[in-house]
Amino acid sequence: MNVHYSTASAADAAVGLLAVGVSKADANDLTRALSSLGDLAASIAASIHTHDFTGAAGQSIIVASLGRIPARYIAVVGLGESSDDEYRRAAGAAGKEARERRVTSAALSLGDLSPAQTRAVMEGFAAGNYRFDKYKTRERDQKPAVEDLHVFGAADASVQDKTQAIIAGQTLTRDLVNEPAAVIYPEALAQVARDLANDQITVTIWDEKKIVEENMGGITAVGQGSDRPARFIHLHYRPTGEARQTVALCGKGVTFDAGGLSLKSSAGMQTMRCDMGGSGVVLGVFRALADIRPDVEVHGIIGAVENMVNGNSFKLGDILHIRNGKTVEIHNTDAEGRLVLADCLSYACELKPDTIIDLATLTGAAVVALGEYYSALFTNYDDLAAELHRSADDAGEGLWRMPLPDFYKDKLKAEWADVKNVGGRAAGSTTAALFLSEFVEDGIPWAHLDIAGPTFFNTAFRHFRPGGTGQMVSTLTRWLTD
Ligand code: BES
Ligand code: MN
Ligand code: ZN
C-alpha cells in the first residue's frame, strides 16, 4: 500500500472511496460535519437517519456519490470522542468498506491529524483493509486490497516511512499466521526467514540433526513426532555503525499444535496453525527492520516444530535435556511451547544480549485471564516493563503485566528431573512463565509476552478481521527503534 499525504480538497479526490470522519459531538448536525463535501453534504445528511449514525468509533455508513464528486463511494465514519485509538478504528472501518467495495484507491478525510493520529490511521486502515482471501476461487469473493491511500490533514511526512515498514511487517505476520499448516511447516518458516536476508541481515538454519548435535532436547522432542522435521532459525540484524544495544527476540514457532500424545480435541486444535504466532511476530519485526535499519543489533531466534502424533512422538514421563543442561520431566505433551522456547532462551543467553524478549502463544490460561486485547507481560525488570508499556500505548496494542513470583516455582517441582513441564491449572500462564525463567541466565533483563489471545481472532474485533492480527509487531518495532 502506497500512502500519499494530500493537502488538496478531499472532495476533489479521484479515488474509489472517500472516508469522511464525524465525531459523536458533530453527529447531530451532519450537514455541517460533512461541509467539506460541498453541495453533497445536505443530501447525504438527509439520507442518513440520526439513530443509524451516532458517530461512535468504528461505525460507518456508505453512500454512492452518483458522480457528484470524483470519488465513487463516500464512507461516513464515526470518530467517537476523537482519541488516537478511535481514529485507528475509524480508519479501520474505512479500510474494511474499501475492501468490501473492491476499490483499489481510497482517501481519508478525518480532520487535522497529529503525528500519532497519522500513524494510527495508517495502521488502522491497513488492518481493516486486510483480508486473507487468496484461497477463495469464486469471482464474487475476490476483493483486491487498496494500493493507494491518500491521507488528508496529516501533520508531517516524518512518520510515514517507519509506519509503512511496520505495516509491511504486520501484513507478513498476518499472512504467516493465516496460512494453513500444510503451507507453513518448519522448513517453510525457515525459507521465509532466508528470504529476509540482506546486506545487514544474516540467517542461519539448523536442521533436525544439527539440532540434536547442539543439545536442543526440547525442540528435538516436540518435533520428533512429525513427518515435517524441526528447524532452528537464527536471524541476525547488524546496524552499519556502532550498535546502541543488542536485543534477542525469541519466538515460539509451533506450526501446528495437535497436542502430541496429550491430544487436543478437534475444537481445541481447529485454529492451532496460529501457534507459530510468536515466530510470526519475530519475522514481521525483521521485515520492518530491513526497511527502518535502526542502530540496534537484533537477534531473532525461532524454534520451528510441528507438535504431532506418530510412532516416534515424545511421551509422558520422558525426561528431556535442554541446551542449558537442565532436565525436564514431561507431564503433558501439549505444554510444548515452553520446551521449544527453553532451548531458544538458552541459546539467546549465550549471545550475551542486553535484553531478551520472547513471544509465544503459550497458554489458554492467558486467553481466559485477558481475552483478545491484552498480551500478558511477565518480567521482573520494572524499567523494561515501563518501556514496553510505553511502546504498546504508542502502537495502540494492549499489554497487561502479570505476576512472576518465585514462590509459585514449587508448582514445577519434579520427582525425577529438575522441573516438570506443567504447574497445574491455577496461575497457568504464570507457571509457564516461571518455567521459562529456568532457562534465562540471572542478570539478563528478560520479558515474556504470552500472546495467545491477541494473535488470532475467531471473530472480527475492533478494527481487525477474523484471523491473524499481527499484533505486537508494532509495539516491538517501536520499542526497538524509538
Ligand atoms: N498453543 C497452546 C496454547 C494456546 C491456547 C494458544 C489457545 C492459543 C489459543 C499451548 O501449547 C497449550 O496447549 N497449552 C496448554 C498448556 C497446559 C497443557 C499446561 C493449555 O493452555 O491448555
Ligand atoms: Mn500445546
Ligand atoms: Zn502450543
Q: Give the residues across from 202 on adjacent strands.
A: 236
The CB of 361 under 6 Å from ligand 1? The reply is: yes
The CB of 360 under 6 Å from ligand 1? The reply is: no
What is the DSSP code string of 120-146?
HHHHHHHHHH----TT--SGGG--PPP
Cα 330 to Cα 97, 416, 427, distances in angstroms:
49, 10, 19
The CB of 103 under 6 Å from ligand 1? The reply is: no
Q: What is the pLDDT of residue 419?
A: 98
Q: Per the residue annotation, which of 228, 338, 420, 465 is the catalytic one?
A: 338
Q: What is the pLDDT of residue 155?
A: 77
Q: At what angle do helices 84-100 and 115-129 cross, to 10 degrees?
A: 30
The CB of 97 under 6 Å from ligand 1? The reply is: no
The CB of 334 under 6 Å from ligand 1? The reply is: yes
Residue 333 Cα to ligand 1 midpoint, Å, equals 10
**194 catalytic, yes or no?**
no
Please give the Cα distance from 254 to 277 (Å, whole number). Answer: 8
Pocket test for ligand 1, best of 305, 363, 451, 469 (most atoms within 8 A of CB): 363
Residue 159 Cα to ligand 1 midpoint, Å, equals 37
The CB of 365 under 6 Å from ligand 1? The reply is: yes
Q: What is the pLDDT of residue 158?
A: 75
Q: Per the residue annotation, which of 68, 101, 238, 264 is the catalytic one?
A: 264
Pocket test for ligand 1, best of 252, 308, 362 (most atoms within 8 A of CB): 362
Q: What would the grid cell of residue 465 be? A: 478481521
Surface-to-core class of residue 332, CB atoms within 10 Å of its CB (0-12 exposed, 13-18 middle, 19+ buried): middle
**88 catalytic, yes or no?**
no
Given its phi and psi angles, is residue 434 left (phi above 0), alpha (psi -120 to 50 degrees) or beta? alpha
The CB of 340 under 6 Å from ligand 1? The reply is: no
Ligand 1 atom with least separation from CA of 257: 1
Ligand 1 atom with least separation from CA of 423: 19
The CB of 335 under 6 Å from ligand 1? The reply is: yes
Residue 340 Cα to ligand 2 midpoint, Å, equals 11
Residue 385 Cα to ligand 2 midpoint, Å, equals 27
Whether the full predicted model's pTM is greater than 0.95, yes or no, is: yes
Please give the Cα distance from 371 to 455 (Å, whole number). Answer: 11
Please give the Cα distance from 115 to 137 (Å, whole number). Answer: 40
How many of the other CB atoms lie within 10 Å of CB of 227?
A: 9
Q: What is the pLDDT of residue 159?
A: 81
Cα 133 to Cα 39, 130, 147, 182, 284, distances in angstroms:
38, 9, 16, 17, 20
Q: What is the pLDDT along the chain (482 residues), one digit of tens a residue?
A: 999 998 888 999 999 999 999 999 999 999 999 998 988 999 999 988 777 899 999 999 999 999 999 999 999 999 999 999 999 999 999 999 999 999 999 999 999 999 999 999 999 999 999 999 999 999 999 999 999 999 999 977 778 889 999 999 999 999 999 999 999 999 999 999 999 999 999 999 999 999 999 999 999 999 999 999 999 999 999 999 999 999 999 999 999 999 999 999 999 999 999 999 999 999 999 999 999 999 999 999 999 999 999 999 999 999 999 999 999 999 999 999 999 999 999 999 999 999 999 999 999 999 999 999 999 999 999 999 999 999 999 999 999 999 999 999 999 999 999 999 999 999 999 999 999 999 999 999 999 999 999 999 999 999 999 999 999 999 999 999 99
Please give the Cα distance from 355 to 245 (Å, whole number). Answer: 8
The CB of 268 under 6 Å from ligand 1? The reply is: no
The CB of 111 under 6 Å from ligand 1? The reply is: no
Residue 336 Cα to ligand 2 midpoint, Å, equals 5
Per-residue DSSP letter, 461:
B
Residue 363 Cα to ligand 1 midpoint, Å, equals 4
What is the DSSP code string of 232-243?
EEEEEE--SS--
Pocket test for ligand 1, best of 264, 276, 334 (most atoms within 8 A of CB): 334
- Give the ligand whose atoms come closest to the C-alpha of residue 260: 2
